[in-house]
Structure 1
């Protein structure tokens, strides 16, 4: 959800002061990293698997339910379930569990129990939670300001993005054809950022000591394309068959503050993969401060240099606020818990769903593969170019399991073959290093293996089902609704998508 903001109008002076204080925060963070004040510098923490899961809300007819306020009141678990930008979304914060031993089993059990309780409590509101990358029944009629959650942060964010752009937001995506069908295209102008709310994700967190951050971030960037290729689950929006993981282009375009002229000049977008490998975490925050104007210039009274000088831990409020409006696919996060500062990587490329076991497998595969690459003799950033990693992500988003990805030592190879032949053993070794038992490793990596063997992702299943229904005579709207009804049924059954 992000930090709360005021509902007042921002002034030109607010922006000037915020810029100065943001650079003061960046300087303070650099000093903290240099002086090794993070707890992780002294005592490495036990690895924890932290997850945020975003849900779509649908009615019994499988149309979007604009009911997040009623749903959250009914669930009555404010520490776990929270609002999201769209009234057809909510978010769940899963309490972290150890990424060692068999702690993943406890997290999986807790997820299932929380979802069961939530579903039971919202039954009377004609609303149901759906773990899916994009609700396929979302239509253009939902992309209006009335679909925005009634919260000052979301209203301000919408107003500031639209104002910064100076014109309507354009969505322009050429799809990947369904079986034997022509290419479908989405071309629409929107007067709000609501299409961003259509992008429902699984976000993974890993706390990292500053000295190890760059290597972990580079590894996360290198494997982002692989994650998307084997986890794609967002093929439809506004009645069109788009990319296998359409969240990526929709998110990029829906929050783009650049009119075409600035984009043509090479001004960087706010949804961003990056443009180079890094050597220090401070480079990422420094880039944010130098390149991206403030969207929410909320000013605090804190003097971070003075707090450090007094032996305290600064909150770095301006840095945290600004960082929350620069949407890197692997985002660095500074946070303070119980007075202790830490840094973490927030991995944001994955869609929600299809099932709890699929999301657990996606998470475990990411952490294991990242750890395996970090522990390899030669860093991945010395074996491949950043441009190759960026191209992999785009190709994977377009074609899912059909993508051909570049990997050092393998060349350009199918995503399924790359995972089966090369990456699963690296992930297994990484998980063993983290301390996961063989039983836990086998449970989750077997799901990834099964997905690659069958070449069935959530996106592939959705596309197959809609194509079959249309061949049987159903219209696109009917096919999407009926497909989603079957999807929700299989989701509740809980078997991984490759067995559907």
Structure 2
């Protein structure tokens, strides 16, 4: 969800003060790096791994159920939080080392949290769905009345539209479906379309000196990561990208009118523009390129805190960073008085099953770790533009994409993963101390997707196409598909084993 906002309005003085505090927070980061004040990795030398999962709520007709506030009130736990739409809920798992004794603890903790949430949702006449984009969402559900009750969301929407000066335009051309290209074109005066994008966010806490290599590595294989995990093919009853979250999230949070886009002003949802050599590069870009959206300041000056021998919270820097949605985002935080930095990987959709999500996590952590430790890193042999183009291709076409990789050329995601990335994932997980049986179990799911070329998006698209061929209209086909999706989600069997619907 991000930090709550207490202010109801922001003045010019608020903006000037906030900008100054963000600049001083960036200076504080620079000083802390140069003075070796990031001691979190000294007390916890192994990388720590964390997870957030966003879910949708549906009613008995498979339509969005607008009841997150009531469910959260009855749950009464910090594990669960609201998200932008009243049909969203987020759950958070505490970070832990990904070792033999912990690797499946993530799965156990997630299963317990999901089961408790589903039980409570059922009491309110709803069900939970782990899916990248709820396929029964339509433009009707993008009405401001369905915004979750949060001052942060209200102020964020207000500030985005104040900066734009005009309505948002959603314009997405899909990947060919049943021989046709379908398009979404919606004009809206709310940021609620962003709520359609439900993801699994992975956190990797690192020593500062290790951050740049791991961030570069995560960027380099993001296209393959998304292609293999795509699970967001439908919105407003249209077949769009295999991972429609990518273009929708970018467009739904875009503060730029057309003129600023034409000038090359950077978007708030951003892949980036270069490989980095230091985590400071990213915070400096944030300060240099992006105006404040939620300029709420604290009375504490970060440099004064450092001068007094205290570790600053960097409230303004964190607030600012939380409104710049990089697909691999740098995060500064403190725990028990120790500052740390981490990568927040935001490319993955939620679902389809718990095992699929654990496999996606293992693939990310293992591959990132191995690529980051190569003697001749991938980012020295691959242009940044190629990595960004891979992300676009993987999101648009999923398992049908063509991706570029050095010494391999243009290749399908399944071939690239089987030949290059899975060996990296095994090596990386081994380096993290993950037991071989756990490695084999989780990465076998990724290998299974490569063998069958079936992920959540391809299963959904295939199922809807076959239902339509049998005579159903699009609305009924999508609702029927979602019912079967939920049944299979609860079965726990990974998506590559799901039977394709019979003709």
TM-score by length of 1: 0.98
Counterpart of 1:83? 82
Distance in 2 separating the partners of 1:41 and 1:71:
37
Counterpart of 1:399? 397
Counterpart of 1:106? 105
Alignment of 1:439-458 (within 5 A): 439-458=437-456
Match of 1:99, SS?
coil
Counterpart of 1:204? 202
Deviation digits for residues 242-274 of structure 1, max 9, x if unmatched? 000000000000000000110011000000000
Report deviation, 1:41. 5.5
Counterpart of 2:372? 374
Match of 2:104, SS?
helix
Q: Which moved more, 1:110-119 or 1:429-438?
A: 110-119
Tell me whether 1:20 sits opposite 2:52 in the alignment: no
Counterpart of 1:71? 71
Tell me whether 1:159 sits opposite 2:181 in the alignment: no
Match of 2:6, SS?
coil
Counterpart of 2:484? 486
Distance in 2 separating the partners of 1:239 and 1:147:
19
Which one of 250, 253, 257 corresponds to residue 252 of structure 1?
Answer: 250
Contact in 1 for aligned 2:50/2:94 (Cα 8 Å): yes
Contact in 2 for aligned 1:131/1:354 (Cα 8 Å): yes
Contact in 2 for aligned 1:47/1:100 (Cα 8 Å): no
Which one of 400, 416, 419 corresponds to residue 418 of structure 1?
Answer: 416
Tell me whether 1:4 sits opposite 2:4 in the alignment: yes
Counterpart of 2:289? 291
Counterpart of 2:187? 189
Deviation digits for residues 327-378 of structure 1, max 9, x if unmatched? 0000000001111100000000000000000000000000000011011111
Counterpart of 2:501? none
Q: Which moved more, 1:104-113 or 1:427-436?
A: 104-113
Distance in 1 separating the partners of 2:176 and 2:221:
26
Distance in 2 separating the partners of 1:136 and 1:69:
22
Query: RMSD of aligned C-alpha atoms?
Result: 1.0
Contact in 2 for aligned 1:232/1:244 (Cα 8 Å): yes
Distance in 2 separating the partners of 1:27 and 1:120:
47
Counterpart of 2:321? 323
**Number of residues paired by the alignment?**
498
Distance in 1 separating the partners of 2:416 and 2:381:
16
- C-alpha change, 1:43 and 1:114, in structure 2 (3 Å) is closer
Which one of 234, 237, 242 corresponds to residue 236 of structure 1?
Answer: 234
Match of 1:172, SS?
strand
Report deviation, 1:76. 2.7
Distance in 1 separating the partners of 2:342 and 2:291:
23
Contact in 1 for aligned 2:21/2:316 (Cα 8 Å): yes
Distance in 1 separating the partners of 2:7 and 2:16:
19
Alignment of 1:455-466 (within 5 A): 455-466=453-464
Match of 1:206, SS?
strand
Match of 1:104, SS?
coil
Unaligned 5+ runs, structure 2? 499-503
Report deviation, 1:42. 3.6
Match of 2:84, SS?
coil
Match of 1:93, SS?
strand
Distance in 2 separating the partners of 1:469 and 1:429:
42
Deviation digits for residues 59-114 of structure 1, max 9, x if unmatched? 0110001111012123332x111000111101000123321114121211121122
Match of 2:31, SS?
helix
Which one of 408, 416, 436 corresponds to residue 438 of structure 1?
Answer: 436
Report deviation, 1:121. 2.0
Contact in 2 for aligned 1:313/1:339 (Cα 8 Å): yes
Counterpart of 2:351? 353
Distance in 1 separating the partners of 2:210 and 2:315:
24
Unaligned 5+ runs, structure 1? none
Match of 1:103, SS?
coil
Counterpart of 1:386? 384
Deviation digits for residues 26-56 of structure 1, max 9, x if unmatched? 0011000111101146455333321000001
Match of 1:487, SS?
helix
Counterpart of 2:261? 263
Counterpart of 2:169? 170
Contact in 1 for aligned 2:99/2:435 (Cα 8 Å): yes
Alignment of 1:52-67 (within 5 A): 52-67=52-67
Counterpart of 1:223? 221
Contact in 2 for aligned 1:102/1:440 (Cα 8 Å): no
Contact in 2 for aligned 1:234/1:246 (Cα 8 Å): yes
